[in-house]
Amino acid sequence: MQTIYKKAGIVVKPHNEVVFYLKSAITILKQLNVEVVLEKIAADLIEASSDVTRDEIASRVDVIILIGGDGTFLSVATQAVEAQIPVGGFNLGTLGFLTELNKDLLEEKLIEIFYGQSTVSERKLLEIEFKGERLLALNDVVANRGNISRVSKLLLEIDRERVVEFSGDGLIIATPTGSTAYSLASGGPIVSPRVNGFIVTPICPHSLTFRPLVVPDHSKIRVTSMSENNRVFFTVDGQKVLPMDTGDTFEVGLYNKKLKMIVAKEMNYFRLLNEKLNWGI
């Protein structure tokens, strides 16, 4: 029986226990006659040779196997989207909504993945335009005051309609995938990845009546910094931070490609929520 993927890239988060799982994954993949391409960080951990960077690996392989946490997953997500290859994440952390595969079932899950027995969930992304630059986000884009202990003033517009100008700590625009991240911690709703919408969640607004919104994902969302005495910063998937001066604007819409995320065949979204959030305990 032939595997459906021939060349696998391995990306890891440096961690006390990652070397054990990294070596195990390499052994299993070689037994499956899959060519292994190690990201340089992973190679260095086991004293192997590789000059392939995280930015390059998606263009060199036909699937990425990731061992780490959601931050590591987000660091390769946009490259995987552009290359249109799937990503399967084994979780080394405690929560892991993106890296949902169980590291203790590494051999079983790798066999399922490479023999086409796992499920691929397609996830939508945000496309952000700022000063001629295009950025992508799987989880969210966040506009806030950074480390400065002053409030931010932001103008929110949706489809060219003024929604609100408000003061507070900031604003989150999230995909359904990102609804369980910062947006949830800020009081936003949990939204199934099947929902065709974006979540707009204010962070500690001074107006207590400004509540989270769910809007169609064909909307164009525009955020303008109205803060006069301090800069606003916006963060894309927790990976990139850019400053906004007074009057600066970024616009958010739906990207035209989706991420192919490998999930366990026995897992559904509501079971995942139950396990990760300890519902019913």
Q: Does the structure show a pLDDT above 90 at 273?
A: no
List, for residues 209-242, the tens digit of each pLDDT value: 999 999 999 999 999 999 887 789 999 999 999 9
Angstrom distances, CA of residue 235 to CA of 73, 127, 174, 229, 239: 16, 13, 12, 20, 7
Sorted by sequence, the CB contacts under 8 Å of residue 104 that are 6+ apart come out as none
* DSSP three-state, residue 273: helix
The DSSP-derived string for 40-59 is: HHHHHHTT------TTTGGG
What pLDDT shows up at residue 149? 64
Classify each residue of 5-17 as buried b or exposed e, where b means 16 or more C-beta atoms within 10 Å of its C-beta.
beebbbbbbebee
List the single range of 90-99, 160-169, 190-199 with lowest mean pLDDT: 90-99
List, for residues 125-176, the tens digit of each pLDDT value: 999 999 999 999 999 999 998 666 678 899 999 999 999 999 999 999 999 9
What pLDDT shows up at residue 148? 64
Say which CATH topology domain 7-124+258-277 has.
Rossmann fold (3.40.50)
**Is the entire prediction scored with pTM above 0.85?**
yes
Q: Does the structure show a pLDDT above 90 at 111?
A: yes
Where helices occur in 84-209 by DSSP H, the ranges are 106-114, 182-185
Q: Does the structure show a pLDDT above 90 at 93?
A: no
Domain boundaries of the chain, sorted by first residue: 7-124+258-277, 126-254
Q: Which of 75, 85, 69 is nearest to 39 (CA)?
A: 75
Show which residues are catalytic: 70
Where helices occur in 115-198 by DSSP H, the ranges are 182-185
Q: What share of the chain is helix, strand, coil (3-state, %, to 5)?
A: 25, 35, 40
Mean pLDDT across the chain: 94
| pLDDT mean over 64-85 | 96
Architecture of domain 126-254: Sandwich (2.60)
